[in-house]
Amino acid sequence: MKTIDLYTPIIESSIYHLKAGDFVTISGTIYTARDKAHKKIAELVAQQKPLPIDFTNAVIYYAGPSPAPPGMPIGAIGPTTSYRMDAYTNIMLSLGVRMFIGKGSRNEEVKKLLVNHKAVYCSSFGGAAAYLNQCVVDAQIVAFEEFGPEAMYKLTVEKFPVIVINDIYGGDLYADV
Amino acid sequence: MRTISQSKLYTAVYDLVVQANFNLPEYVGQALATMQASEQKPLAKETLNILIQNAHIAAQKHIPLCQDCGLVIVFLEIGTGVTIDGNPESIIQNAVADAYKNNYLRPSIVKDPLFDRTNTGTNTPAFIHTEIVDRGSVTITVYLKGGGSENMCSLKMFTPTADIEEIIEYIITTVKQAGPNPCPPLFLGIGIGGTADVAMLNAKKAVLHKEPHPSEEYRKLEEVILQRCNKTGVGPLGFGGNNTVAMVRIKEAPTHIATLPVALNLNCHSLRYRSITI
């Protein structure tokens, strides 16, 4: 399939040409965050406390990897279902996140917010966690280690494959099928 | 009477947990290949190709099939002709905890659903369903269920005079609304009859049936539901395509004159389970 190769940080202008249904690969730095990390980040924002990373132009991957076996940077690392993070998406966009990666559909509010903030939502390949492990070259915990698999990881990835679901023009692959 | 030692039961459960996490059952892998061949759309074809490669990488490099190593459901059939040297429930819990820890499998169980969502760290408790059967052996089935697809399960209590078409419509609507969330192509287990809880348990058991229903009426119903689900266009991982459901399996039970429960167990494309008789 024809693919578009993107390198982080992903700036606003580089997502203008992304359309729902495009096959994209990401190389560079992405950060994992799932349910607990989102709740914690929202609390830190509300309390005006320092945040663990700079979210400007960041790529957030909704994932909770399995532990790293000896000799590997990480274990299995596929996407988790995204709608559980819908309630926190406004906060994450306000912090400057440019791309979210997960799986499954988002609510109408999130779709509008993505258009307004010029950010995209992509799906990776749900249940292809061993395959996706092969795209991760390094993994470091950057925050919330106490959450175990729900800690926030900084991942260095090479050609990590995703499909654009919601683009900045209101396009929605799931609605089209 | 035959005695099964603690260590024999422990080893059996431990090995089943490991196999289920790293090796897709052969016929599940074959189903992925058949669907891949039948897809026309490039994205659907490529998606199934990635899922097939995933199974190969998992087995060869010993990386779990999915980062969600599941909650562990155990079906335990204890024959009347055997005794187990010890409490089978605690032997199973220990085997599950050790298998998860020693094989770098993700623990995903929290202590309390509302007031203490702290990870137990061991992926226990496993949820064990025990049956007493008329045999001289013990059969253990370990079934791993991911949270994403478990969240899409559904139960509806129909009135006993409901039309079969109404039931089919409910099933299609559930699959369509779940869309990409449970990671299709799905293995769909359907429990019909019994009580609300029995129907759901039968939906869990049904999805593990390799073969279609032995009775012709139910077999035809499985076929109709499969075809109708695949006309929704949801496709592999919801990206669009002809394969939304890989298999449909029904398990029925006698029920009350006033009831007709229908339970749906939506399982992702990665149907992970293993069985052994000892």
In this structure, which amino acid lies at residue A111?
K
Give the helix/strand (H/E) hosting B84.
Answer: strand B82-84
Determine what percent of chain A is predicted with pLDDT higher than 70: 100
Q: For residues B134-158, give the mean pLDDT.
A: 97
Residue at A158 is within a domain: yes
Residue at A29 is within a domain: yes
Q: For residues B23-47, give the mean pLDDT.
A: 97
Q: For residues B108-126, give the mean pLDDT.
A: 96
- Residue B1 scores a pLDDT above 90: no
What CATH number is associated with residue A114?
3.20.130.10
Q: For residues B208-226, give the mean pLDDT.
A: 98
Query: Which residue is catalytic, options A26, A30, A38, A121?
Result: A38
Q: How far is Cα A171 from Cα A144, in angstroms, rounded to an integer?
A: 34
Is A81 within 8 Å of B148 when comparing Cβ atoms?
yes
- Backbone phi, then psi, for A90, in 5-degree steps? -60, -45
Q: Which residue has the tokens 């050790």?
A: B98
Q: Regarding beta strands A23-32 and A59-61, do their DSSP bridges make them parallel or antiparallel, or are they unpaired?
A: parallel
Residue at A175 is within a domain: no
- Residue B122 scores a pLDDT above 90: yes
Residue at A33 is within a domain: yes
Dihedral over Cα of B19, B23, B28, B30: its sign: negative
CB-based contact, B29 to chain A, within 8 Å: no
- Residue B10 scores a pLDDT above 90: yes
Is B64 within 8 Å of A127 when comparing Cβ atoms?
no
Q: How many domains does chain A have?
A: 1
Range of the domain at A141: 3-169
CB-based contact, A45 to chain B, within 8 Å: no
Q: Decide: B109 and B71 in contact? Cβ < 8 Å.
A: yes
- Residue A23 scores a pLDDT above 90: yes
What digits encode the pLDDT tens for the residues A93-141?
Answer: 999 999 999 999 999 999 999 999 999 999 999 999 999 999 999 999 9
Q: What residues of B are in contact with residue A73 (Cβ under 8 Å)?
A: none
Beta bridge partners of A6: A26
Going from the C-alpha of A111 to that of each of A166, A167, B263, the distances in angstroms are 7, 9, 32
CB-based contact, A144 to chain B, within 8 Å: no
Distance from CA of B218 to the nearest CA of A (A): 30
Q: How far is Cα B219 from Cα B228, in angstroms, rounded to an integer?
A: 14
Confidence of residue B179 (pLDDT cuts 50, 70, 90): very high
Nearest to B180 among A77, A78, A174 (CB): A174
Q: What ipTM, to 2 d.p.?
A: 0.95
Please, which contacts does B120-125 make with residues 24 or more away whose CB atoms are closer than 8 Å?
A: B121/A148, B122/B96, B122/B97, B123/B69, B123/B71, B123/B72, B123/B96, B123/B97, B124/B72, B124/B93, B124/B96, B124/B97, B125/B93
Q: How far is Cα B40 from Cα B88, in angstroms, rounded to an integer?
A: 49
Residue at A176 is within a domain: no
- pLDDT (0 to 100) of residue B80: 96
Which residues touch B84 (CB under 8 Å, ≥6 apart)?
Answer: B3, B4, B6, B9, B78, B91, B138
Is A148 within 8 Å of B107 when comparing Cβ atoms?
yes
Q: Regarding beta strands A136-143 and A120-123, do their DSSP bridges make them parallel or antiparallel, or are they unpaired?
A: unpaired
Is B240 within 8 Å of A177 when comparing Cβ atoms?
yes
3-state secondary structure string across chain A: CCEEEEECCCCHHHHCCCCCCCEEEEEEEEEECCHHHHHHHHHHHHCCCCCCCCCCCCEEECCCCCCCCCCCCCCCCCCCEHHHHHHHHHHHHHCCCCEEEEECCCCHHHHHHHHHHCCEEEECCCCCHHHHHCCEEEEEEEECHHHHHHCEEEEEEEEEEEEEEECCCCCEHHHHC
Q: How far is Cα B246 from Cα B186, in angstroms, rounded to an integer?
A: 6
Q: For residues A154-172, give the mean pLDDT.
A: 97
CB-based contact, B108 to chain A, within 8 Å: yes
Other beta carbons within 10 Å of A67: 20
Going from the C-alpha of B8 to that of each of A114, B91, B106, B246, the distances in angstroms are 55, 10, 25, 35
Residue at A117 is within a domain: yes
Residue at A177 is within a domain: no
In this structure, which amino acid lies at residue A102?
G
- pLDDT (0 to 100) of residue A177: 79
- pLDDT (0 to 100) of residue A176: 83
CA A66 to chain CA centroid, nearest Å: 17
Residue at A140 is within a domain: yes
For A126, nearest residue in chain B (alpha carbons): B183
Q: How far is Cα B64 from Cα B52, in angstroms, rounded to an integer?
A: 14
Q: How far is Cα A143 from Cα A147, in angstroms, rounded to an integer?
A: 9
Residue A117 is a catalytic residue: no
The pTM for the full model equals: 0.95
Is B50 within 8 Å of A76 when comparing Cβ atoms?
no
- Residue B228 scores a pLDDT above 90: yes
